[in-house]
Amino acid sequence: MEARAMSPTSRVEAPSLVRSRIGIAAGLCAAAFSVIAARLVEVMVFGAGLAASLDAAPSVNPMRADLVDRNGALIARDLPVSDLYAFPGVFWDTKEAARELAKATRADEARLNAAFEPKRGYVMVQRGLTPDMRDAVMSLGFPGLTFEKAYKRYYPSGRIVAHAVGQVDPDDNGISGLELGLNEVVRGGSDPVQLSLDMRVQYVLEHEIEEAAHEFQTKASGGIVLNVHTGEVLALASLPDYEPNLRTHATSDSTRNRMTQDVYELGSIFKIFAFAEAVEEKTIRLDEYLDVGHPYRLGRYLIHDFERLGPYLPASMVFAESSNIGTAQIALRSGPARQRPFLENLGLLQPLKTELPEVAAPLFPRRWGEVEGATIAYGQGISVNPLGFAAAAASVVNGGTAKLTGMEFGYQQFLSFLPRPLDGLGVEASYTRVWQDSSFTTGTPAP
């Protein structure tokens, strides 16, 4: 076999070809590392590593207007805060990042660990960071972090008037109380929204119902202060209450507004409507005597008084002494056929309409006979929420008129959590008679 010898020229060209290939490979590696280094610098310095996920970031909602009481005292205000987001793909150690960020922001470390583990996507770390918390995060020096401008609703009075004012969700949308009922008015507004509430009266009311709850060892209590001439709610309180500045509440707290969300058989205070109807329909004279000396029989039922009030009482004293026996007799003179529309005209048989959205509907019997009419006259067999009762009672004690308000919200109402002027202040007042001649006639206030 004949061997071929390599020429000197071939021996020279072989090393040159190898060197050129090595040079090309080295150049490609250097270019690749340059691109990676430039990308890391871009992410760490400018935060552009989040650009691919920016469409997943929530948009910043417009700031909500302040809520103030009738004297300008601040009730609720939006404060600027920061929402923190992270791009875990650039973290060297996701567990360390989760641990340190949880400490700085009070976020849940387990949640962050689970969210950071895939090392992809755009992760919300914590919402509503205060300036101190933001500084603590910045001092950690982690790459891939970005802060989004946001707002957090702050209630300077805390638990005071919490049930009436309500709360917002993390996105600054009203979810309860007036924050929900006035959401379209408050959201994006620049001028403060004035409420009819008076924080001075509110403090007094809450102190009094707290004292009463302690004295009588009640599970719950509440109260309402109302201007009967204008329908303005000056104060509304319900216990147990809650801290609206917190997202979580103690087990002893309650977000339930018992003045509007619960209905009760209110008992003897309901007798005011039986007497208003009797005076309206002239079925009795106040000096007329009624037999209250023994239980009043109605079919197979007997109506009793809590204590014996004497053999006879004039009608005026039947009301003063709160006699069930006398009240039932007075109510039956009008009869259930007239009693029901009378109570309906007072708004007691339908849910109350106000700026407060959480209002329970009343409960009353479908069959409204003599027995039902007699028991309803002294506040049994019908359940209404306290705010609805207050509105109806105001229509009686203010001369029998209900002021129409709330027309800007598309409905008519008597009660309002927005300030309403008195007559003679340059604003025409619209009234509805509710218990004169047992009919509704729009006109001027009753004399």
Q: Residues 190-209: pLDDT tens digits?
A: 899 999 999 999 999 999 99
The single-letter DSSP state of residue 64 is B
Starting at the edge strand found earlier in the chain, the sheet holding 442-443 runs: 401-403, 431-433, 442-443
Q: Print burial letters for 168-196: b (CB count within 10 Å at least 16), e (below 16).
A: beeebebebbbbbbbbebbbeeeebbbbb
Interaxial angle between packed helices 271-281 and 370-377, expressed in degrees from 0 to 180 and rounded to the nearest 10: 110
Q: What is d(CA 137, CA 101) in angstroms, rounded to the nearest whole number?
A: 7
Enumerate residues 6+ apart whose C-beta is below 8 A from 405: 231, 412, 413, 414, 415, 416, 418, 420
Q: Given this model, what pLDDT does residue 53 score?
A: 42
Which segments in the chain show pLDDT lower than 70? 1-19, 21, 23, 25, 30-33, 35-62, 401-414, 421-447
Ordered by start, the domain boundaries in the chain are 267-443
Q: What is d(CA 135, CA 171) in angstroms, rounded to the nearest whole number?
A: 23
CA–CA distances in Å: residue 189 to residues 43, 62, 73, 77, 155: 37, 8, 18, 12, 17
Q: Given this model, what pLDDT does residue 63 score?
A: 85
Instruction: Check if 82 is active-site.
Output: no
Report the SS3 class of residue 301.
strand
* Class of the domain covering 267-443: alpha beta
Q: What is d(CA 238, CA 257) in angstroms, rounded to the nearest whole number?
A: 6
Q: Print burial letters for 301-329: b (CB count within 10 Å at least 16), e (below 16).
A: eebebeeebeeebbbebbbeebbbbbbbb
Report the SS3 class of residue 125.
strand
Residue at 92: amino acid letter: W
Q: Given this model, what pLDDT does residue 40 score?
A: 58
Pairing of strands 67-68, 74-86: antiparallel
Enumerate residues 6+ apart whose C-beta is below 8 A from 71: 198, 199, 200
Q: Given this model, what pLDDT does residue 7 score?
A: 53
Q: What is d(CA 409, CA 189) in angstroms, rounded to the nearest whole number?
A: 17
Single out the catalytic residue among 268, 383, 430, 438: 268
Structural contact between residues 56 and 83, judged by C-beta atoms closer than 8 angstroms: no
Residue at 160: amino acid letter: I
Cis peptide bond N-terminal to 295, omega within 30: no
Enumerate residues 6+ apart whose C-beta is below 8 A from 283: 277, 330, 333, 334
